[in-house]
Structure 1
């Protein structure tokens, strides 16, 4: 049976665009992010989701909690929605990473490279696709919200459309952006991508 998965990127936080946060702890939403999530909750409530599943990281959990206030449905942790493990790069500012040739390789060849001591995008894609299929099976025929992170959402979308992970840079997933997949046995259809709050 087909289910609709609403892939939601966490809302904004103070380090956005400055630091590769990865899985570092203590990254919480800022006031703008909390306002984004509250506005998004009102929109998502109209879809009557069965549940909100979330990455375990603070910025995703806080987004999920604000969505749940509007939707009146439970928030459930899902490790498969976690951010990519960026290993030694976690917590580094982007200007510092620009001098690392491995960072250049990572951004030019996502299908074949890996962060130092971290997780490849292929591994992240396998993980998130398995998690989404689990949500489909858990909530057959329903709308489900999955709060995650930009690169993880990109990996899921690229899987759904049958594109290489090297095409990740052709997709923009903004803070509190929503993308929708229809999942069924054996595949998925991309219904929408990076819908903002306008």
Structure 2
């Protein structure tokens, strides 16, 4: 299977506003977010990208815009990667939401949290994980198992995907930090996912590109060894 870069959209006009924007339309990148989007072009220059798959919300489209233009890549819009539907909480001030009994459930027992008039976090994780695995399988089939592709989505959505990749219960997903414009990386295999980066802001990304596979042995001379989905006992030796 292939490798996916999980990119959270750049800083938006809603980030830091004290209001839960959710799926509110026309939430743009702010000046910082625009600079973050432009910086992605250089930052991802060592990484060949097969495809861009994004949430339909404007701030995600804006985040990958400069990169798509520089690479000449189209963008596949995936509704299952959209922001959490916070329902009646959308547009409300966080300082008032802190006082809601549901707030503590979201923090400590996320799998049981269902937003009034919206969706549950468990349902969000199910749709997001289904989407990333479906696109990963499709891209692997079309571009090969060494393909690298980029997914641009939202904080809680990416945290839920990472929790699944880590084999971590959704109730603990609040332990994962995913900042605006940060990059996390997961490599999927037939056996298990491998988490290569989490909340990375400035690391060299050349190392996430899978090495070329070794030449296949001649018929009748199959070589025994570890499968691609096996972890290295004792730890990786690096690149």
TM-score (norm 1): 0.94
Between Structure 1 and Structure 2, whose CA radius of gyration is higher? 2
Structure 1: which 5+ runs fail to align? none
The 5 Å alignment of 1:121-132 reads: 121-132=121-132
Tell me, yes or no, if the aligned pair for 1:108 and 1:166 is still in contact at 8 Å.
Answer: yes
- 1:7, CA displacement in angstroms? 0.4
Give 1:45's aligned residue.
Answer: 45
The 5 Å alignment of 1:126-165 reads: 126-140=126-140, 141=145, 142-165=147-170
> How many residue pairs align between the two structures?
197
Render the CA deviation track for 1:113-165: whole Å, top value 9, x for unaligned: 21112111111111111111121122112111000001000000000111111
Q: Distance in 1 between matches of 2:114 and 2:195?
A: 27
State the structure with bigger RCO (CA 8 A, min sep 6), 1 or 2: 1
The 5 Å alignment of 1:18-97 reads: 18-97=18-97
- 1:4, CA displacement in angstroms? 0.3
The 5 Å alignment of 1:179-198 reads: 179-197=184-202
Q: Distance in 2 between matches of 1:146 and 1:194?
A: 14
Query: RMSD value over aligned CA atoms?
Result: 1.4
Give 1:172's aligned residue.
Answer: 177
- Which shows bigger deviation, 122-131 or 101-110? 101-110
Tell me, yes or no, if the aligned pair for 2:108 and 2:172 is still in contact at 8 Å.
Answer: no
Structure holding more strand per residue? 1
Q: Note closer, same or farther for the CA distance 1:186–1:86 as it changes in structure 2 (3 Å cut).
A: farther
Structure 2: which 5+ runs fail to align? 204-239
Q: Which runs of 4+ in 1 moved over 4 A?
A: none
